[in-house]
C-alpha cells in the first residue's frame, strides 16, 4: 500500500505559507486514495508558481507554455486514455491567456482533471491584477484600483457545459483532497478551482479573508449538485463564495466518442508505413 511519501519526489520551494503546499498535499492524498501508481499519472503544468508542482511530484510531468496546459493534456489523454491526466494552472494561466482552451475543453468533455490555483493575482510576476481580482483591487498594475469586474471560473464552466465543477480551499486540504478524488474519478472534464492565498503578493485575500467569505455547499441540505438551475443560482449569488461540489452530470467523454478502440491506445499502435498502401494513395494525386 503506497503512502503520500511515495509520491513526494523532493521538498517544494514555494514561499513559506503558500497555499500550493496544501494543494500539493491534497493531490497526493487523492492519488493514494485512488491507488494510482506513479507511472499511471501525468501532471501537466503551465507558467506560474504552480508550475513547479510536477517537479516535486513522483509521476510523469510536462511543464508547458503559458496558457497552453490543456492542449498538451488533451494530446496525452487522447494518445493514451488509460493514463490519469491532471492539468494544473493558475487563475491567470487558466482564465486569461488560456481561456479559449478552457472553454473548448469543457464543451468537448475530455477526461482531464483541471486544478486551477486561484490566488486572485499574478503572483510569480510580482503581483499584477489577474482576471479574478476584485473590482477596485490595488496592485502594481492597478495603483488606482482595478476597473475590471472579476471573472468567476466555475460559473463560466457551468455556462460552457462543464460536467464536473467544484471549488475548494487550500486552508482545508482534506476537503480539497476529497474534491480532487471525485474529479479524478469522473468520466469527463473535471474543474476543481482551489482558492489559494498568495502570502507574499496579495495582502487582501488572505487565509482569514477566505475563511470569512466562503460557505460550504454540503451544509445546505436543499442544495442538489445535479440540479443545474440550483447550481447556477448558487454560483451566481452575490455574497459568500460557495465551496464544494457545485455541479455534476453524466455525459459521454470526448475520447469515448472519437477513439475507435480505447482498449488499444494510439501510443501502442504500429506506426510503420505500409509502402504499398502509401504508393496507392499517391497514385490518386498524379
Residue 262 lies in a domain: no
At residue 237, the pLDDT reads 63
- Return the higher-pLDDT residue of 148 and 180: 180
Kind of pairing between the strands at 60-63 and 84-90: unpaired
Q: How many CB atoms lie within 10 A of CB 34?
A: 14
204-234 confidence digits (pLDDT tens): 899 999 999 999 999 999 999 999 999 998 8
230-260 confidence digits (pLDDT tens): 999 888 767 899 999 999 999 999 999 988 7
Give the Cα separation of 36 and 38 in Å (integer). Answer: 7
Residue 56 lies in a domain: yes
Task: Say if pTM beats, i.e. exceeds, 0.85.
Answer: yes
Residue 271 lies in a domain: no
Residue 177 lies in a domain: yes
pLDDT of 263 higher than 80: no
CATH number, residue 91: 3.40.50.970
Residue 40 lies in a domain: yes
Residue 105 lies in a domain: yes
pLDDT of 125 higher than 90: no
At residue 101, the pLDDT reads 95
Torsion angle of the four alpha carbons 179, 7, 110, 248, in this order, in degrees rounded to the nearest 10? -10
| % the chain with pLDDT above 90 | 72
At residue 152, the pLDDT reads 94
Residue 133 lies in a domain: yes
Average pLDDT over residues 93-120: 95
Please give the residue range of the domain that contains residue 125. 4-257
Give me the DSSP letters along 14-67. Answer: SPTT-THHHHHHHHHHHHHHHT--GGGEEEEE-SSGGGGHHHHBSSEEEE--TT
At residue 281, the pLDDT reads 86
Residue 68 lies in a domain: yes
Give the Cα separation of 170 and 19 in Å (integer). Answer: 5
Q: How many domains does the chain have?
A: 1
Amino acid at each position: 500500500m503506497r503512502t503520500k511519501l511515495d509520491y513526494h519526489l523532493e521538498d517544494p520551494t514555494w514561499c513559506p505559507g503558500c497555499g500550493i503546499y496544501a494543494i500539493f498535499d491534497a493531490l497526493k492524498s487523492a492519488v493514494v486514495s485512488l491507488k494510482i501508481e506513479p507511472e499511471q499519472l501525468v501532471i501537466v503544468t503551465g507558467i506560474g508558481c504552480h508550475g513547479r508542482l510536477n517537479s516535486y511530484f513522483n509521476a510523469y510531468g510536462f511543464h508547458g507554455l503559458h496558457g497552453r496546459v490543456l492542449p498538451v493534456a488533451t494530446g496525452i489523454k487522447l494518445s493514451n486514455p488509460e493514463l490519469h491526466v491532471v492539468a494544473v494552472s493558475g487563475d491567470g494561466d487558466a482564465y486569461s491567456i488560456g481561456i479559449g482552451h478552457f472553454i473548448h475543453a469543457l464543451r468537448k468533455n475530455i477526461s482531464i482533471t483541471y486544478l486551477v490555483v486561484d490566488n486572485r493575482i499574478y503572483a510569480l510576476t510580482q503581483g499584477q491584477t489577474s482576471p479574478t481580482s476584485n473590482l477596485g483591487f490595488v496592485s502594481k498594475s492597478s495603483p488606482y484600483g482595478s476597473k475590471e469586474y472579476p471573472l468567476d471560473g466555475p460559473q463560466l464552466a457551468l455556462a460552457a457545459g462543464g460536467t464536473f465543477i467544484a471549488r475548494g480551499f487550500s486552508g482545508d486540504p482534506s476537503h480539497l483532497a476529497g474534491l480532487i478524488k471525485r474529479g479524478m474519478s469522473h468520466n469527463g472534464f473535471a474543474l476543481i478551482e482551489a482558492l489559494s492565498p498568495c502570502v507574499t503578493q496579495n495582502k487582501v485575500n488572505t487565509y482569514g479573508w477566505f475563511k470569512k467569505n466562503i460557505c460550504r455547499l454540503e451544509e445546505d441540505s436543499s442544495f442538489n449538485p445535479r440540479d443545474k438551475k440550483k447550481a447556477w443560482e448558487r454560483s451566481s449569488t452575490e455574497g459568500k463564495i460557495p465551496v464544494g461540489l457545485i455541479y455534476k452530470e453524466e455525459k459521454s467523454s470526448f475520447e469515448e466518442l472519437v477513439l475507435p478502440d480505447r482498449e488499444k491506445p494510439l501510443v501502442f499502435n504500429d506506426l510503420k508505413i505500409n509502402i504499398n498502401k502509401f504508393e496507392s494513395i499517391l497514385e490518386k494525386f498524379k
